[in-house]
Structure formats: C-alpha cells, structure tokens
Amino acid sequence: MNEDFLYYLWQHYLPGKTFQGTQKERITLIHPGRHNPDSGPDFFNGRVKIGDTLWAGNIEIHLKSSDWFRHGHQNDPNYDNIILHVVYENDRPVLRQSGEPVATLELKDKFDRRLFDTYQGFLRSKHWIPCQETIDRAGHFQILNWLQRLAIERLQRKAGEIENLLRDSRHDFREIFYQKLLQNYGFKVNAEAFGQLACSLPFALLAKHKDNLQQIEALLFGQAGFLHAGFPGDIYARSLQNEYRFLAQKYSLTPMEPRVWKFMRMHPPNFPTLRIAQFARLFYRSTGLLQKIPEAERLDDVVNLLQTEASGYWKTHYRFGKTTTAHSAKMGKSSIHLLLINTIIPFVFVYGRMVNRQPLRDKAMEWLSGLPAEKNGTTRRFAELDIHAANAMQSQALLRLKTMYCDRKQCLHCAIGLQLLKPL
C-alpha cells in the first residue's frame, strides 16, 4: 500500500459513500477538497458529514495513524484543525492538543481489493506502457478528452520554459525568439550545437548585418567553426572565410569547436551546414519575423514565411568543398512543421499571455491542431495500440502521455489509468 493509492481512493472512489469511523460515528464524504502538493495538510477545503454535522476544512492522509506522530504533526498547530484523519490502518489514536480525538476513517477493509491489484499490475508492468494490455477498455471519447488536456499541458510547459528565459534576459523577446528558433534548426541531433551557436552570436550583433546575406552567412558559418579549413578552388567558401576574419576581429569573436557538430548517420538534407544556410536566408529575407507571425491569420502564411531556400551554392553542396548532384536547398514541409510545433506556436502562446490576448492563445492551439501529426517512434507505437494521432496537437499529447505519465507509472494521475481502475 502507498499514499498515492490512498489519495486516489479519497478523490475518486470514496466521494458520496458513507462509512463507520473508528469512534463508531457515521462519516460521509461530500467533497474531497483540493490536493495540496506542498507542505501542510494533504487536502484543503474538503467537506464531510460526521454524524449529523457537515464539516468543511482540511484532511490529512497517512498509511498508519501513527505516522501523525512520526511526522511531528502533534506539535504543529496547522494540524490541530484537521476535520478528518484518513488512514489505511488505525494503529494508534490521534488527539488534538485539547485532548479531543481527531475523527479518523480507516480504509483497510472499505474498498474493492481488485482496484489495488489492478494498480499494482500497472506498477509491475514491463510493457511499453503500463496499461498496454487493457487500454482498449478506456474508451475512445475518454482518450480524446485526455489528449486535449495533455496537449495544453505540453504547450504550457514549453511556454513556461520560454517565460523563464525571458525573465533571465530582462524580457528581450527578440533575443530569446532568435535563440530558440536557431536552436530548433538543429532539431534533435544538433539542437545543442545550434544552441551554442545562438549564444555565441547574439541577435543584436547579427541584426547589424541583416541587409547583407554574405555577412550573415559568414558570421553564422564562421562562429560555427566551419570556416577554419583551407578551401582551394572554392570561391564561395573563401569569400565567407575572408569576410568572417574581418568581422571576427571587429567584434572579438571566438568560433566554436567544429567537433560539436554531428553528421554521422544523417541524411544530407539534415546536415547542419545546409540548415545554417537556410537559417541565414530566413534571417536575411524575414525582417520583423517576430512581428509578422502573431499578425498572420492563416497557418499557411506562416509556413510560407519559414519556407526559405538556401543560397545557390547549396543547391550543389551539402558541405563546404564537396560538390554533389543538383538538389533542392529548401527546407522541407515536415521540418517546417517541427519548427512551428517547437518554436513558433509556443512563442505565439506566450505572447498572447504577455499581452493578455486570448485570441492569440486560441490561435496557437488552432495552428497546432491544423498541423499534421508527427511521425516518430512514440506515435507509431500508440498507433499499434489503435490510438492514432489525427493532428499535431494529438501527437504532442501522446509524447506528453508517454514521457510524463506512462514512463513514470503515474497511472493514478492519468485519465486513462483512472478509467481502467473503475470497478467493473
């Protein structure tokens, strides 16, 4: 037995039921109250009927009533006004400082043991998700409702990270937007390296050269450490190298170590060199991008803003000095969708919160639901369980479900787990 399961019983199984307390009194749970995750009583503002009297106040929950003393509550005045002590086992009477007994409800024999067995089965499960063998019983409508909430949770988590960065930067919105966008140009494999590049080359410095594509490319590639080698016969690379030497001396810049960049086991269109060239073109042609995005009415308008093509050199190159057959230098739609999901939409959501404009927050959610579902290992495994993401909002929700609930065995905090724990 654990306290998490007792919390579940208190919140989801006991409401509306009547039991006999340890003093033979009749106890009916009217409302469980609000769970308190911090110090103090476990639930605030619960409502219970003890005998003929309706009580409203705080409730404390323990495995054993003796835990009251083990936790030192007998010396804490915050616990002297507890209206009900809920325990799995009543092994010691608990008194108020006045000597009056605290009303106590022992749960040991007051619930269906099959519920705990089901919960233990989830905890012991070795499957990809704990409820893998029974999730089909949860019901399509219940799952959809839960995914909606999880999508909001995940978006709020991303928004919270952005807001923390904004606080640390004294609300330099342009700098943080630039940093997060450039970082996400690295996607999963090179995100850390792109993040280092953004930190080493502040927005304000790069913006001084926003009207000169060659200088933007020179600064980005030079800071990334890609212009350190000799480039015999490569006029484009040599021109960037010369430009960077001048700018690096002017601004006292120190380039990154080239070894931080990853090329192994990557498709060439995902090489960081091509991604940097695409970002350079975006930076060059999209002056005021941060202002344009929230003002856009249609998702397609934002996609068009982001769908840039790297300069001509990159139509026959993926790396400096290595010519290839002609290919597209544009960023693909699926990559743009990831930038929208991980950067653009969270920033629109944050901006809506900052200026207190609900329509902008609604727009962020609308754009998320208007994007196709992500295709990754998580969404594929859920599809095998007949849970299919219809759009990016639902695929984001499935990622949240897997990492924050299934992997952590948080079944008692998951709407699907609670549904499966309901008595048959």
Give the chain's mean pLDDT. Answer: 94
In terms of domains, do 347 and 423 share one? yes
* DSSP annotation of 64: E
Residue 309: is its pLDDT beyond 90? yes
Tokens for 159? 């928004």
In terms of domains, do 262 and 359 share one? no
In terms of domains, do 65 and 25 share one? yes
In terms of domains, do 254 and 315 share one? yes
Specify the number of domains making up the chain.
3
Could you count the other beta carbons within 10 Å of the beta carbon of residue 137? Answer: 13
Is residue 158 a part of any domain in this protein? Answer: yes
What pLDDT shows up at residue 78?
Answer: 85
Q: Which of 331, 349, 378 is the last residue of a domain?
A: 331
In terms of domains, do 37 and 135 share one? no
Pick the residue with more confidence: 37 or 394?
A: 394
Is residue 145 a part of any domain in this protein? Answer: yes
Tokens for 353? 């919160």
In terms of domains, do 250 and 327 share one? yes
Residue type at 88 in one-letter notation: Y
In terms of domains, do 14 and 60 share one? yes
Pick the residue with more confidence: 98 or 26?
A: 26
Helix (H, G, I), strand (E, B) or coil at 271: coil
In terms of domains, do 121 and 51 share one? no
Q: What are phi and psi of 85, to 5 degrees?
A: -105, 115
Is residue 349 a part of any domain in this protein? Answer: yes
Is residue 159 a part of any domain in this protein? Answer: yes
Residue 374: is its pLDDT beyond 60? yes
The DSSP bridge pattern shows strands 26-31 and 53-64 to be: unpaired
| pLDDT per position as a tens digit, 76-129 | 988 989 999 999 999 999 999 888 999 999 999 999 899 999 999 999 999 999
Q: Which of 331, 359, 383 is the last residue of a domain?
A: 331
- Compute the distance between CA of residue 369 and CA of residue 371 in angstroms, rounded to an integer: 6
Is residue 263 a part of any domain in this protein? Answer: yes
In terms of domains, do 43 and 74 share one? yes
Is residue 103 a part of any domain in this protein? Answer: yes
Is residue 196 a part of any domain in this protein? Answer: no
Please identify which residue in the block is written with the tokens 């095998």: 384
In terms of domains, do 338 and 325 share one? no
Tokens for 393? 């909002």
Is residue 259 a part of any domain in this protein? Answer: yes
In terms of domains, do 39 and 130 share one? no
In terms of domains, do 259 and 314 share one? yes
Domain of 43, in residue numbers: 3-111
- Confirm if 373 and 383 have CB atoms less than 8 A apart: no
Residue 364: is its pLDDT beyond 80? yes
Chain centroid to CA 404? 9
Q: Which of 95, 111, 127 is the last residue of a domain?
A: 111
What pLDDT shows up at residue 424?
Answer: 57
| pLDDT per position as a tens digit, 45-57 | 999 999 999 999 9
